[in-house]
């Protein structure tokens, strides 16, 4: 069968890499893809947001299955467009994807259905938001309502930061129209975790839990980023806690969306805080996480294509989702200046040498070929990933791999692993 993957980052490279392992697949296309993906798939020069052009391509090439990576095409209705044309596609409809597309909608539905989450308030006037923040005090969290490439949620440790966050989002419009409205939330204390589940709207099959590292610098210092690395599984989430998360958060949210006339099919990603009062929802995403996918999929033993097909056909209950024992760590190598302004076109060397070691995969996120050379083309450039029998082995492997990869200004965290490992 022919499979099309939509997107061009590290998550999509991981999806293409996993899909390529399926015996059912004869050809893979990726729109737009990147230099690493091009080794496994035919890259199509169409941006992920051009949903009509992507649907036209799928129709023309008689694509059997399309898998969507990023949130933007899902939130603008790529699944609805494909379904209208009778094309098979993996992901939620526009109405269901609003769980990520609108933080206001997300908070309202969680409150309505009593799903554990922080106290919040919604504002479309910056002065009213500032008055509320002064009353509440800090720490506090200020979020742009819409999509902001993972950077629209600002954790503010003091009052000045919080007031400045309102200015940045609502007045300066740092995230464009995503900042028309904001959500101001109580700050939750605890440990973060990412929980992704496969669902066909009724059956829910959890993936292994993972943990993302959002801050740019070691020890969770510096500005928020799209994610500087992840590991899987999470040692401090035992079977009982994981069951609690699935039963009190993930399943009720999917049931709530169905009850609201927005049946959800695809991957639902819960960004959670493990507080002393139990797990609570920080955010929901309507797709595979990035970089969590790069740490989770290498541990998936089952055929991802079979899972996707079962979800589309609403027969997920028939499919066994199996995981291998062990640990996986993904370390993101970023351009100098990221998450702010950065230069492109820096020559990358050492990937082949890094991948010679067993259990190492280097996922490309922001790469391109220029004048026959592999160069940087994004803020997050690569995701060096290692699978080991335990975290000590995976960490040794991944940082040995990272040390072999060079490009000017390369920046990465040196502490992507569970604490104490």
Q: What is the CATH number of the domain that holds 302?
A: 3.30.470.20
Of the CA atoms within 13 Å of residue 93, those in its CB half-sphere come to: 14
97 in any annotated domain: no
Total domains, the chain: 4
204 in any annotated domain: yes
- Mean pLDDT score across all residues of the chain: 96
111 in any annotated domain: no
Please identify, among 186, 204, 230, the residue that sits at the C-terminal boundary of a domain: 186
> Domain span at residue 361?
327-404
Q: Are residues 258 and 349 in the same domain?
A: no
The whole-number pLDDT of residue 284 equals 96
pLDDT category at 224 given cuts 50, 70, 90 is: confident
The whole-number pLDDT of residue 161 equals 94
Minimal CA–CA distance to 189: which of 282, 103, 115, 107? 282
The whole-number pLDDT of residue 419 equals 87
Kindly list the distances between the CA atom of residue 85 and the CA atoms of 1, 62, 80, in Å, as whole numbers in the listed order: 19, 12, 9
Q: Are residues 179 and 261 in the same domain?
A: no
Rounded Cα gap, residues 43 and 54, in angstroms = 12
Q: Are residues 181 and 208 in the same domain?
A: no
The whole-number pLDDT of residue 123 equals 95
* DSSP string across 328-373: EEEEEEE-TTTTS------B-B-HHHHHTSTTEEEEESSEEEETTE
CB distance 418 to 341 below 8 Å: no
72 in any annotated domain: yes
Q: Are residues 335 and 310 in the same domain?
A: no
Q: Are residues 199 and 312 in the same domain?
A: yes
Which residues have C-beta within 8 Å of that of residue 173, sequence separation ≥ 6? 179
Q: What is the CATH number of the domain that holds 10?
A: 3.40.50.20
The whole-number pLDDT of residue 16 equals 98
Rounded Cα gap, residues 133 and 142, in angstroms = 9
Kindly list the distances between the CA atom of residue 224 and the CA atoms of 318, 413, 421, in Å, as whole numbers in the listed order: 40, 13, 24
Share of the chain above pLDDT 70, in %: 100
Rounded Cα gap, residues 266 and 359, in angstroms = 28
The whole-number pLDDT of residue 31 equals 98
Computed on alpha carbons and rounded to an integer, the radius of gyration of the chain in Å comes to: 20
Instruction: Name the β-bridge partners of 31.
Output: 6
Please identify, among 143, 162, 186, the residue that sits at the C-terminal boundary of a domain: 186
104 in any annotated domain: no
Q: Are residues 313 and 205 in the same domain?
A: yes
The whole-number pLDDT of residue 351 equals 98
Q: What is the CATH number of the domain that holds 159?
A: 3.30.1490.20
Give tens-digit pLDDT for 52-76: 999 999 999 999 999 999 999 999 9
Give tens-digit pLDDT for 130-156: 999 999 999 999 999 988 876 788 999
Q: Are residues 358 and 303 in the same domain?
A: no
pLDDT category at 420 given cuts 50, 70, 90 is: confident
CB distance 122 to 104 below 8 Å: yes
The whole-number pLDDT of residue 117 equals 95
> pTM (2 decimals)?
0.95
Rounded Cα gap, residues 406 and 241, in angstroms = 40
The whole-number pLDDT of residue 148 equals 81
421 in any annotated domain: no
Using alpha carbons only, give the angle 8, 9, 10 rounded to the nearest 5 degrees. Answer: 140
Q: Are residues 197 and 264 in the same domain?
A: yes
Q: What is the CATH number of the domain that holds 389?
A: 3.90.600.10
The whole-number pLDDT of residue 151 equals 74
CB distance 4 to 67 below 8 Å: yes
Q: Are residues 382 and 347 in the same domain?
A: yes
């Amino acid at each position: 069968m022919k499979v099309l993957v939509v997107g061009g980052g590290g998550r999509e490279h991981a999806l293409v890499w996993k899909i390529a392992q399926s015996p059912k697949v004869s050809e893979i296309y990726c729109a737009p893809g990147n230099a690493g993906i091009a080794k496994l798939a035919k890259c199509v020069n169409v941006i992920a947001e051009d949903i009509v052009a992507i649907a036209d391509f799928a129709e023309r090439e008689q694509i059997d299955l399309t898998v969507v990576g990023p949130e933007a095409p899902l939130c603008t209705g790529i699944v609805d467009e494909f379904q209208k044309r009778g094309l098979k596609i993996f992901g939620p409809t526009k109405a269901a994807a609003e769980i990520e597309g609108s933080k206001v909608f997300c908070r309202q539905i969680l409150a309505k259905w009593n799903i554990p989450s922080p106290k919040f308030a919604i504002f479309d006037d910056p002065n009213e938001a500032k008055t509320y923040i002064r009353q509440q005090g800090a720490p506090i969290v200020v979020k742009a309502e819409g999509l902001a490439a993972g950077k629209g949620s600002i954790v503010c440790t003091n009052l000045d930061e919080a007031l400045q966050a309102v200015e940045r989002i609502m007045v300066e419009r740092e995230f464009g129209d995503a900042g028309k409205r904001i959500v101001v939330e109580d700050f939750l204390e605890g440990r973060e975790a990412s929980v992704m589940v496969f669902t066909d709207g009724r059956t829910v099959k959890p993936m292994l839990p993972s943990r993302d590292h959002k801050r740019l610098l070691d020890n969770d210092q510096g500005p928020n980023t799209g994610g500087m690395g992840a590991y899987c599984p999470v040692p401090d989430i035992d079977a009982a806690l994981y069951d609690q998360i699935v039963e009190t958060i993930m399943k009720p949210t999917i049931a709530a969306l169905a009850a609201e006339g927005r049946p959800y099919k695809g991957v639902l990603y819960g960004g959670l805080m493990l507080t002393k009062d139990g797990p609570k929802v920080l955010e929901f995403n309507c797709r595979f996480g990035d970089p969590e996918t790069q740490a989770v999929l290498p541990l998936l033993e089952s055929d991802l294509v079979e899972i996707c097909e079962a979800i589309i056909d609403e027969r997920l209950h028939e499919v066994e989702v199996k995981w291998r024992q062990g640990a996986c760590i993904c370390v993101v190598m970023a351009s100098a200046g990221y998450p702010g302004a950065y230069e492109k076109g820096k020559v990358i060397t050492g990937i082949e040498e890094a991948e010679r070691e067993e259990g190492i995969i280097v996922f490309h996120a922001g790469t391109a070929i220029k004048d026959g050379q592999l160069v940087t083309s994004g803020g997050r450039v690569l995701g060096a990933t290692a699978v080991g029998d335990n975290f000590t082995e995976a960490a040794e492997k991944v940082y040995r791999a990272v040390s072999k990869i060079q490009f000017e200004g390369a920046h990465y965290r040196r502490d992507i692993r569970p604490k104490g490992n």
